[in-house]
Structure 1
Amino acid sequence: MDSNRFVDEVTINSLRKSLKQYAVPNDRRAVWQLANTLIPYIALWIILVYMIRNGFALILTLPFIIAAAFFLVRIFIFCHDCVHGSFFTSPRANKIIGYVTGIMAFTPFSYWQHDHLIHHGTYADLDHRGVGDISTLTVEEYRALSRTKRLAYRLYRNPFVFLGIGPSYTFLLAQRLPHKRGGKSERLSAMITNLALLGIMLMASLTMGLGTYLLIQVPIMLIAGAMGIWLFYVQHQFEGVYWARHENWDPVKAALLGCSYYKLPKLLQWLTGNIGLHHVHHVLPRIPNYHLQQSLDASPVMQTVRPLTLRESFKSVWLNLWDEKQQKLVSFRSLKELGH
């Protein structure tokens, strides 16, 4: 089956109606997910504190730090579900757990919610880029830049920059500062998160020691941040992706062709909270992560989307510009071949 054929045969409302039964939170599933994630995460922290306090070589802590980073990514997915009000049945519970998991991931809940919901209304729309997404220029826009700005964009799109420097800037700096978008709720969210993080650092300095805390928290945060940025990147930046100008933007094409079905090995799929089933998520964002696989299995239309494998996804880092003539992402290297 071909998803390109189905985009002309279904409407976004019919797709959502077919998946509506899965957009129902299950409190028991949510509590179980918190338990099977937070308990291992805390256990890994205890192991790491013991190792560092007892003089183990830092290289020996690396496997535990990487494991903790994966669990932190999963914790952030719970925050993401709370943003959509889909993790618990109670809006109050979603907000509380959203704030707590957001603080754990150095992310102000309402601050990020504001940008993320804008992203859901503007993804794959060439005329509404720039909020909650990876900045992507068209070929013509890139050509119009000065040499200095071209260099800046090339650096921004370099994987060593957006996966290396990017997490430090995003999670340690940018999300500490209230942005101009949004209102009091978003600014208050940033303040609450910053105060909570200061409180955690104070408690850590009085117990395990500030140095021990930083030796654990900083690498976990940077590795988890790189994983999160990569997942967000590859969800809308891959070969064959759909983008369109606003007047031609189609919600079905945007969901089925503008979002990846990132088919990861089962363990990685579990650790990343099924977020790789991103096309399903964008059709109906209120489906909680623990129902995404079931939704995919029950929907013939969702199954028509060609899976993006882990190996194939690495090619996405070389797709840097949108060529409106060819309607596809292209690399910087291809500009000469395209006559640009």
Structure 2
Amino acid sequence: MVQALALQQVGNGAVLEDQTRFDPSAPPPFKIADIRAAIPKHCWEKNPWRSLSYVVRDVFIVFTLLYAAIRFNSWFFWPLYWPVQGTMFWALFVLGHDCGHGSFSNSPKLNSLVGHILHSSILVPYHGWRISHKTHHQNHGHVEKDESWVPLTEKVYKSLDNMTRMLRFTIPFPIFAYPFYLWGRSPGKEGSHFSPYSNLFSPSDRKDVVTSTLCWSIMLCVLIYLSLVTGPFFMFKLYGAPYLIFVMWLDFVTYLHHHGYNQKLPWYRGKEWSYLRGGLTTVDRDYGWINNIHHDIGTHVIHHLFPQIPHYHLVEATNAAKAVLGKYYREPKKSGPVPVHLVKYLLSSISHDHFVSDSGDIVYYQTDPKLGKDSWTKSK
């Protein structure tokens, strides 16, 4: 109490200095049960009708935009259509993401039905992604076991040829990575989200993976048929370009949930890792008015610790938990009308966060000073 009062008297500079001295890898003085207890009980309640209302809203907007694009079909309209529709594809993904976590409703059948419709429509294999994303949440912050944007160890990093390094660490290539990740995962990991025999899945998952891959294949066939009927260039304008915008959103947002904070955050191995400590390395981001469009997915710390909480309760749950989290919660910088402020964090992280040590139970990203030099030549 005395220290807090002293900091208030000294002013903002002292507070900032105190924050920079804070060690984010230090074991927190609270338990996950303490955070849970601070969150109001109603924040855990899932209302399927409310969840479905967001689906109706987003699907209505998507089809309205499709109708307008077909109706106008002009080069004045297309540059406006692509980013807006691509953002709505991203919104559909987030609702399907809620289905995968079971935060959409208490009904597994409803979650699976809505999840398959939403994700298949944007070429995401629902169960294949759902299972690997569950692995990500269960192992967040773990160097070897995490699944989403997991750091490369120095050994794996040095085994990559220069072309692969350039593609992974040079903008804009990383923000188009998602389709490649679905087919082949990250460097150093094997498996595919489409194969029921992938090491991503257990034998009990195989039927679900086959179902999702079949739904994905049906959607792909529909797109191919429509391309033959309307012309491939028109289908690219109508669906392909928004799909690429969606992929950019997905990679941009998911990367910044776990990278790019102005103070380096730890990754863990062995006994140092715990579910709580791993979850506390995630980062909240503010996207301004887009927060509502993509269902507050930037409110990510509480989501990672408690993925069962519906998206429409995340902001309230986060505000309630801040008193417990203290300095382990990093307040996001407020966004302007467009979240361009986040681009600098992405560029900085991609430029400096290249690999982590092969050993050690608490590690931080290190920088390869040679990256970018002779990127297009073969490694020897």
Q: Could you say which structure has the higher helix fraction?
A: 1
C-alpha distance after superposition, 1:204-247 (max 9, x if no partner): 755x5654333211111011111101111111122322211122
For 2:350, what is the secondary structure of its paired residue? Answer: helix
Q: 2:268 aligns to what SS in structure 1?
A: coil
Matched, 1:65 2:99: no
Q: Report Cα offsets for 1:174-217 as digits up to 9, x if no partner.
A: 878436232222122111221133235536755x5654333211
Aligned with 1:84 (options 90, 95, 101):
101
Residue among 344, 350, 353 paired with 1:317:
350
Matched, 1:119 2:136: yes
The code of the aligned residue for 2:136 comes to H
| Preserved contact between residue 88 and residue 94 of structure 1 (Cα < 8 Å) | yes
Q: Return the offset for 1:150.
A: 5.0
Structure 1 residues 108, 297: closer, same or farther in 2, change over 3 A? Answer: same
Structure 1 position 306, deviation (Å): 1.4
Taking structure 1 as reference, are residues 303 and 263 closer, same or farther at Cα in structure 2, changes over 3 Å only?
A: farther
Deviation at 1:126, TM superposition (A): 1.5
Cα separation, 2, equivalents of 1:200 and 1:151 = 32
Q: What TM-score does the superposition give when structure 2 sets the normalisation length?
A: 0.75
Q: 1:228-275 deviations in whole A, cap 9, x for unaligned? A: 01111111122322211122102222112x10111221x121222211
Match of 1:213 in 2: 235
| Alignment correspondent of 2:29 | 9
1:97-153: CA deviation from partner (whole Å, max 9, x where unpaired):
000111122111111111111111122111324xx31242234553xx34x535523
Give 3-state SS (helix, strand or coil) of 1:15's partner. Answer: helix
SS in 2 for 1:124: coil
Query: What CA RMSD, in Å, does the superposition of the two structures yield over aligned residues?
Result: 3.0
Distance 1:137 1:204, change over 3 A: closer
Three-state SS of the structure 2 residue aligned to 1:9 is coil
Aligned partner of 2:149 in structure 1 is 134
Q: Which has the larger radius of gyration?
A: 2
Aligned match of 2:219: 196
Question: How far apart, in 1, do the equivalents of 2:213 and 2:40 lie?
Answer: 33
Sequence identity of aligned pairs in percent?
17
> Number of paired residues?
322
Ranges in structure 2 where 5+ consecutive residues have no aligned partner: 5-18, 186-191, 334-340, 372-380
Change (3 A) 1:107 1:141: closer
1:82 Cα deviation after fit? 0.2
Say if 1:238 and 1:329, in contact at 8 Å, map to a contact too. Answer: no
Q: Distance in 1 between matches of 2:156 and 2:227?
A: 48
1:305-335 Cα shifts (integer Å, max 9, x gaps): 1134444533222222235779422332389
What are the Cα deviations for residues 79-102 of structure 1, in whole angstroms up to 9, with x where unaligned?
A: 000001111232211111000111
- Cα 1:152–1:212 shift into 2, 3 Å: closer
- Alpha-carbon distance in structure 2 between the residues aligned to 1:18 and 1:112: 31
- Call closer, same or farther: CA 1:107–1:302 in 2, change over 3 Å: farther
Distance 1:291 1:6, change over 3 A: farther
Deviates more, 1:174-183 or 1:65-74: 174-183
